[in-house]
Structure 1
Amino acid sequence: MRVSFPFSAIVGQDEMKRALLIAAVDARIGGVMVFGDRGTGKSTAVRALAALLPPIAAADAGYQDGTVRKGKVPVPFVDLPLGATEDRVVGALDLERALGAGVKAFEPGLLARANGGFLYIDEVNLLEDHIVDLLLDVAASGENVVEREGLSVRHPARFVLVGSGNPEEGELRPQLLDRFGLSVEVRTPQDLAQRVEILKRCDAFERDPAGFAEMWGRAERATVRRIARGRAALAGVVMPDAVLGFASRLCIAVGADGLRGELTLMRAARALAALDGIAVVSAAQISAVAPLALRHRLRRAVLDETGSTARIERALEELAA
């Protein structure tokens, strides 16, 4: 069995790891978009988190074609290639067999395989727009519908959508980017000690994957417990009106379009509080997740050359004053 690089052993990239943990606690947040340089551990982190999570009931994983599976299976991790056709993504109906034999012959696609787990798209900004539209619609509804010539098949498709890309190679349309719950920026580490530690850990993993994973076993189990506690506590975390007011004032101050940003900000702050064992959300949690939830939803200010993150941080400072 293939051994994944331990999530806990990933050096740096704290913002990306935090966003993924938040999404693992509350899938309603709507997935994570990771912008940044190549070779910064984006797919490694997502694959590692999927491998870290406890096995799920077989009946909840993948597409169930009328059969009931028993037992537990690993959390699905599906990598969607750029050249994937629509049929490969959503699945295909065999019309000839359906009309000739009178049965619904359905070949499940990547969305079916991802049910209950993670769907990862590298360079999502280069994916065809209609495929991205489709993915986001399914991710929001939790259901995939395939229709051909009057025939229709529906199946659950509940997954955490994670996209990554380099903005220099093509931007994602703003209305699509807004549909991702959280946005993360990753950069190649410039700290020498950090880079050396990355090299050492990668080398140790390549030499002895099982031994390296065992060495990080305690930290991995602690992360699993943290996620499990967060999921269990999520529904009971209190969001005071004063904190909701703070979140709304922040969104107004930075000029976030629509209300999706505020909803995501609320959900992400609640999930972070649950992860940290905090029963009542405060402005501290809102401030911690604000860049993740809002930076990709800001209109570009012609007279303001500062980046989105800087604008959010400045607004937070002004609101706290």
Structure 2
Amino acid sequence: MNHKIKTLLFKTIALLPSKIDDYCYHKIQSFFDKSTLEGRLKSVDSTYLRLSKVLKDLNVDLKDKTVFEIGSGWFPAMPYFFKYKFQTEKVITIDINKHFKKETVLELNGLFSNIYDVSIAPELNNKYGLPEDVVYFPNYDIVKEDFPEVDFVFSRYVLSHMNENDVDDLHKKMKTQLKEGSIVVHFISPSDLRQHGDNSLSLQDFLQYSKEEWAKIRTKFDYHNRLRLPQFIEIFKKYNYEILHLDYESLQKGNKRYDLFKQVKLHEDFAKYSDEELTAGNILVVLKV
């Protein structure tokens, strides 16, 4: 869908009363998203494999540990990888929205069991069909709520959807509430979401706008801050996290996406960053409290 049409659609939905707007958003997402549950699980599998390699290199073992996932998403894929592949003791997954549906979770139970040769039995009377030791808290704002006692914090493509000040507040809170030595892992995708489904748009198109202009374009359904890699690193260093690992991909000359990026007239707020810093994506960072 053309990004201008999508933005207009989201802005129209945002005018509807609360709950009705969320219902319409879910229906639209379901209509346009033609991916299968198996296909979406495979995309999370790549996250698991990448994370597994990095943790092995860092000698970080999650067996019998408690994991706290920020941003549950639409179904509990990563919690299952943590429980059944990393063999964690417990996974607490939270989300500011409520997306889990029992029928989807039950389908995932069977799919995950078949693909990874594990036995998944829903906990008796669990309203979402989740297995024991996978705990889901929707409508949970981690910036306002306290952290439980956990060993490992994980987020997958969440930080870019948070208010910039909330990203800062989150890391300030984790530094004070998590026990020393705790590990924090973030997968970050700081690209313009409007590009999804519209390849005519650069992944960095939103860097042409001032803060005021961008605030008029985005909606709560496609909210995205524009923090660049150096800005994330600045926050981590501000609160004295030890950066155990950092890797990312940047656009290279000769790439079509790089050519689209060079057509973007950058706003002065981003002029000080290099092309590598501006286009850094698919970021994986491992922090130590």
TM-score over 0.5 for the pair: no
> Comparing both structures, which one devotes a greater share of its residues to helix?
1
Question: Considering only CA atoms, is the larger Rg found in Structure 1 or Structure 2?
Answer: 1
Question: Relative contact order, CA 8 A, sep 6+: which one is greater?
Answer: 1
